[in-house]
Amino acid sequence: MSNLKELIGDPQSPVFQPCYVLWGDEPYFIDEAVSYFENLLPPEEAEFNKTVVYGKDAKLEDILSAARRFPMMAERQVVIVKEAQELDDWRRKDGNDRLDAYLKKPVASTILVFVFKHKKPDGRMSAFKRAKSMKCMFEFKGLKEEALPSWIQNYVAQSRGKEGLATNTIGMSAARLLAEYLGADLKKVTNEIDKMMIVLPQGSEIGLKDIEENVGISKDYNVFELVKALANKDIKKSNQIFKSFSANTKAHPIQMVLPMMYSHFAKCIVYAGLGAGANQYEAAKACGVSPYFVKDLSITCQNYSAGKLVRIMGYLREADQKSKGLMGNKFTEESIYKELGFKILH
């Protein structure tokens, strides 16, 4: 799950469940859902009908007592339990499941929300089995790498006209650069996009130059361009970028660069093993990328043999070990970059 529509249906005419159990490995989506419920009631109703507690400071017995109350001069009340994994009284002393007892007869005017962070609800408990059967369990999964650029484009489109943000668009190349550089940390990604949409003119398209000036990613010297140069076996440009990285290791720490290089060449090995019979969409599915990126894999495989690709993976693992001091402390990031570039390109 990655959007509110899957949680409540049409936002214009939402259909609410009596209970929500939110969990998963993407905190951004969980926070988005929690924010929706926190702001569901108008201010004049929220004062008396919104309860927000934290699991480490609350008791489930008190939470369920609050859930059984009826709203005061309002259609519904909202009870939100953040860090629900910290609750320690899920069962009564007689062993009965407190939440399960409530879910057998929930209060229709209460929206009860349990938020689990960094921990999965215990699926063995009868309460969560019942919640699942009631379709009240919602898992928020992180985005796959190939889906991130398109998600960035959609985020920009959906953010148009929000308070303080300009009406902008973003092209695929710029979205891909952000995805490659910032990774799948959606909080970081959206923060950087929002900053650009505050300072850029209305109606403009967020381009590579905007990203360079506002996010600090050089359009010429970034890991995205490095992978592209290596894929094309462009020795001159590859060496220029490696040299730039070596001169500014603070901006381009090797522990951020190596995983992206490793990911690309690992996908190339998968692509090389597919043979000439695979079409673009079959290759994209097998390699875990968007069809848009298959061309990059194809170019790489034209310039490097399967054996060379395997050796490159070894070079990258060796560079990673050196950068972590596992092969002694005599290697600087500059020397690692220089050696790695030579081994890959020659």
Place 164 in a pLDDT band, splitting at 50, 70 and 90.
low
Judge whether residue 95 has pLDDT over 60.
Answer: no
Mean pLDDT of the chain: 87
Place 3 in a pLDDT band, splitting at 50, 70 and 90.
low
Pairing of strands 205-206, 77-82: unpaired
Where does CATH 1.10.8.60 sit in the chain? 145-214
Where does CATH 1.20.272.10 sit in the chain? 223-345
Q: Work out the angle at residue 164's Cα, subtended by the Cα atoms of residues 163 and 168, and round it to the nearest 5 degrees.
A: 100
CATH of domain 223-345: 1.20.272.10
Q: Is 4-140 a CATH 3.40.50.720 domain?
A: no
Where does CATH 3.40.50.300 sit in the chain? 4-140
CATH architecture under which domain 145-214 falls: Orthogonal Bundle (1.10)
Judge whether residue 141 has pLDDT over 80.
Answer: yes
Mean pLDDT of 271-275: 87
Question: DSSP per residue over 13-39, as a string?
Answer: S----SEEEEEES-HHHHHHHHHHHHT
How far is the C-alpha of 166 from the C-alpha of 146, rounded, in Å? 27
Judge whether residue 144 has pLDDT over 60.
Answer: yes
What confidence tens digit (pLDDT) does each residue in 33-77 have? Answer: 999 999 999 999 999 999 999 999 999 999 999 999 999 999 999
Q: In this structure, are residues 143 and 151 in contact, taking their beta carbons and an 8 Å threshold?
A: yes
